[in-house]
Amino acid sequence: CEKILGVFEQAYVGKPRCDIPVSAYDPLMTTVPFTHSCSNTMLWSKTKDLVHEYTSRNKDCFTLEDTLLGYCLNGHTWCGREGRNGTFTCCCPGWGGCENSPLKSFWKRASAGVSVQQEIPVVCQL
């Protein structure tokens, strides 16, 4: 767990909170790859309730929030401060705050990681 946290924090700690590229999370995706046995990955945009209702009834389907990283980070906001150590959870940009926020960059990279690492069908509910 400490190794995962350290790799996670390398993406944003000490950096400007609106300048975290998606690629900053590449080492995290290498450290915690998506290795699940499910046959259907469901990615969603603005259909969270619908998709989660569906996956609750179809146990062979899952969402990103059902993975280790997705489960741990879902619903949380985090960021670093330029020149400062540590993770901050207040006054951080949310989903709409800026294009390269730690939050938005993480979820973009995680979504890409699920679809790229799996050689199985991916369903996207928009």
SS (H, E, C) the chain: CHHHHHHHHHCCCCCCCCCCCHHHHHHHHHHCCCCCCCCEEEEECCCHHHHHHHHHHCCCEEEHHHCHHHHHHCCCCCEEECCEEEEECCCCCCCCCCCCCHHHHHHHHHHHHHHHHCCCCEEEEC
| 70, amino acid identity | G
pLDDT of residue 58: 82
| Distance in angstroms (rounded) separating the CA atoms of residues 100 and 41 | 25
Banded pLDDT at 112 (limits 50, 70, 90): confident
- Which candidate, 4, 106, 121, places its Cα nearest to that of 62? 121
| Distance in angstroms (rounded) separating the CA atoms of residues 83 and 68 | 29
Q: pLDDT above 90 covers what percent of the chain?
A: 53
pLDDT of residue 66: 82
Higher pLDDT, 41 or 103: 103
Q: State phi, psi for 51 to the nearest 5 degrees.
A: -65, -40
What value does the mean pLDDT of the chain take?
86
pLDDT of residue 65: 85
Domain boundaries, the chain: 2-31+38-125
Q: According to the CATH classification, is domain 2-31+38-125 in 1.10.10.10?
A: no
Banded pLDDT at 118 (limits 50, 70, 90): low
Q: Which pTM does this prediction carry?
A: 0.83
| Distance in angstroms (rounded) separating the CA atoms of residues 91 and 115 | 31
Residue-wise pLDDT for 63-105, tens only, equals: 888 888 989 999 999 999 999 999 999 999 988 889 999 999 9
